[in-house]
């Protein structure tokens, strides 16, 4: 009977569970979907109760599977920045504000005006973007004062679910890094900074510990799970990095999930100069990383499929777009505003270059290319800060990486070989963190690439198109900001 560990991933669209053995092999996996609410434009929310219901459903499926394994530990991961505010018993006071929500975007400039760019970055190591929990808490204070007055605890997505399952109230250093209430360089709460903002840290979020730290045991679910040790876990990007082997400098991780992420371990804390690049603690003890996020990646492909070809599978779409050129069309994938490197929560998605002879299939090719260009734009912002000319090993994961057409485009745009690894990334990483915590080791998870893509003959053209995309993106961003400022002045 295999010794095994279970990882849970609170994703944006579904909860996923994975069972991993000590060789890093996925023995079993299940997912359970739940809805997303959008009460206003650029606002995105989710009921935490749907995560718990999904946990219960998957736990029942695990029992029904009668898997011949000896479970020894459990880990949790989930959507970073997603913020749950609760009473003293952990009962949510309102729907969770999702990572993609932009309602707090104007608080960043307010903090910069008051404390300056250097002053704010000196604490959190990052520019204060709308996605950070601190800004959401300030928004709740100003717009939902009754809820703020009754607030006693705050949790990131995976921490709330772990609390409901194990009773432990804590977070880990990776998710804490995304709150803007954490001293990333020292790996501890920035309590004095929080007091300046009128917020709390450890009394709300609980202690911030390393990802493989055991913080409790399972108390909810079937007998085969109850009593198992539970580790703190990690944010989904750091857990995915553990699950895909992106844990040391010299490796670049690209995630093609709902959002798109460029992830680079740094080995030591180094504040990036570009404000759109995050510097966070890694799930590896004593490790840090840089991360840049484009708000919509696979989300764009889903939007395209649903809008133009709702009856087709993604595989069928792949076959269609593989046969065509985008023929001068550029797609700017800002369906949820943009983080890196534009930092404009209001800019919309843009299709440019449309002519009468163009078809929906050519637009589809432009959508795939546009996301690849946007990821490259984020990488350029990251690369120019510290390591010009660096040619890291590129590892790609996420649902979008299952598209051979998309993977080849990214290899061509980046001009480097890309290794695609399994899609169990974040959940598998959470399970491996449980293995590390229970057995007290730091061995990396063995990762076997599914396939690799080399830059092809189209790479030089794609590199030129990427440069064109970047120039236009920056012009469009400036034009949109100018228009916003004019609108504000005219009110």
385 in helix, strand or coil? Answer: helix
81 in helix, strand or coil? Answer: coil
Q: Residue 239 is encoded by which pair of tokens?
A: 């857990």
Nearest to 277 by CA among 259, 296, 264: 264
Neighbours of 50 (CB within 10 A): 18
Q: Which of 236, 318, 412, 465 is catalytic?
A: 236
Q: CA-to-CA distance for 47 and 35, rounded, in angstroms?
A: 8
Q: Residue 248 is encoded by which pair of tokens?
A: 């040391």
Q: Residue 124 is encoded by which pair of tokens?
A: 């959190």
Q: CA-to-CA distance for 135 and 138, rounded, in angstroms?
A: 5
How many DSSP H helices and E strands does the chain contain? Answer: 15, 24
Q: CA-to-CA distance for 63 and 224, rounded, in angstroms?
A: 8
Q: CA-to-CA distance for 203 and 155, rounded, in angstroms?
A: 11
Q: CA-to-CA distance for 46 and 36, rounded, in angstroms?
A: 5
End-to-end CA separation in angstroms for the chain: 69
Give the number of C-alpha atoms closer than 13 A to the C-alpha of residue 386, restricted to the C-beta side: 18
Cα dihedral 266, 179, 186, 429 sign = negative
Neighbours of 463 (CB within 10 A): 16
**236 is annotated as an active-site residue:** yes
Q: CA-to-CA distance for 65 and 276, rounded, in angstroms?
A: 44
Q: CA-to-CA distance for 456 and 389, rounded, in angstroms?
A: 20
Cα dihedral 383, 385, 389, 394 sign = negative
Q: CA-to-CA distance for 247 and 289, rounded, in angstroms?
A: 9
Using omega within 30 degrees of 0 as the cis cutoff, is the peptide bond preceding 341 cis?
yes
Contact 353, 330 (CB under 8 A): yes
Partnered with residue 10 across adjacent β-strands are: 15, 78
Nearest to 47 by CA among 59, 58, 36, 33: 36
- Could you give the angle at which helices 360-386 and 314-321 cross, rounded to 10 degrees? 90
The torsion defined by the Cα of 262, 264, 268 and 273, in degrees rounded to 10, comes to -50
Q: Which residues are catalytic?
A: 236
């Amino acid at each position: 009977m295999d010794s095994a560990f279970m990882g849970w991933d609170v994703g944006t669209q579904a909860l996923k569970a994975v069972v991993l053995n000590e060789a890093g092999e996925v023995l079993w996996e299940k997912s359970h979907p739940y809805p997303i609410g959008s009460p206003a434009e650029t606002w995105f929310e989710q009921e935490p109760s749907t995560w718990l219901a999904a946990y219960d459903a998957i736990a029942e499926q695990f029992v029904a599977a009668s898997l011949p394994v000896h479970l020894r530990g459990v880990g949790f991961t989930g959507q970073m920045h997603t913020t749950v505010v609760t009473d003293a018993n952990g009962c949510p006071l309102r729907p969770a504000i999702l990572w993609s929500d932009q309602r707090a975007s104007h608080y960043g400039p307010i903090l910069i005006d008051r404390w300056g760019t250097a002053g704010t970055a000196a604490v959190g190591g990052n520019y204060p973007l709308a996605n950070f929990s601190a800004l959401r808490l300030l928004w709740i204070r100003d717009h939902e004062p009754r809820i703020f007055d009754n607030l006693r605890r705050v949790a990131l997505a995976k921490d709330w679910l772990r609390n409901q399952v194990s009773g432990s109230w804590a977070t880990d250093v990776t998710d804490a890094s995304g709150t803007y209430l954490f001293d990333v360089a020292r790996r501890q709460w920035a309590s004095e900074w929080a007091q300046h903002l009128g917020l709390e840290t450890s009394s709300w979020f609980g202690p911030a510990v390393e990802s493989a730290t055991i913080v409790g045991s399972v108390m909810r679910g079937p007998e085969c799970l109850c009593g198992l040790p539970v580790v703190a876990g990690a944010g989904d990007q750091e857990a995915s990095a553990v699950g895909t082997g992106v844990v040391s400098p010299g490796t670049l991780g690209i995630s093609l999930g709902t959002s798109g992420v460029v992830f680079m371990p740094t080995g030591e804390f180094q504040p990036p100069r570009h404000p759109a690049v995050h510097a966070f603690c890694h799930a590896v003890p004593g490790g840090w990383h840089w991360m840049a996020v484009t708000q919509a990646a696979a989300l764009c492909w889903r939007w395209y499929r649903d809008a133009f070809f709702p009856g087709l599978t993604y595989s069928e779409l792949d076959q269609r777009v593989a046969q065509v050129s985008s023929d001068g069309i550029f797609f700017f994938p800002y369906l949820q505003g943009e983080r890196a490197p534009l930092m404009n929560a209001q800019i919309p998605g843009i299709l440019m270059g449309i002519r009468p002879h163009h078809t929906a299939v050519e637009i589809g090719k432009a959508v795939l290319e546009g996301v690849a260009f946007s990821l490259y734009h984020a990488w350029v912002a990251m690369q120019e800060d510290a390591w010009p000319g660096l040619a890291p090993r590129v590892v790609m994961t996420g649902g979008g990486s299952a598209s051979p057409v998309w993977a080849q485009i990214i290899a061509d745009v980046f001009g480097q070989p890309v290794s695609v690894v399994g899609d169990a990334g974040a959940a598998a990483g959470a399970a491996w963190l449980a293995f590390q915590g229970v057995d007290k080791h730091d061995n990396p998870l063995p990762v076997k690439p599914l396939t690799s893509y080399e830059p092809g003959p189209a790479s030089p053209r794609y590199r030129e198109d990427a440069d064109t995309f970047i120039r236009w993106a920056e012009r469009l961003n400036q034009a949109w900001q100018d228009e916003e400022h004019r609108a504000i002045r005219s009110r």
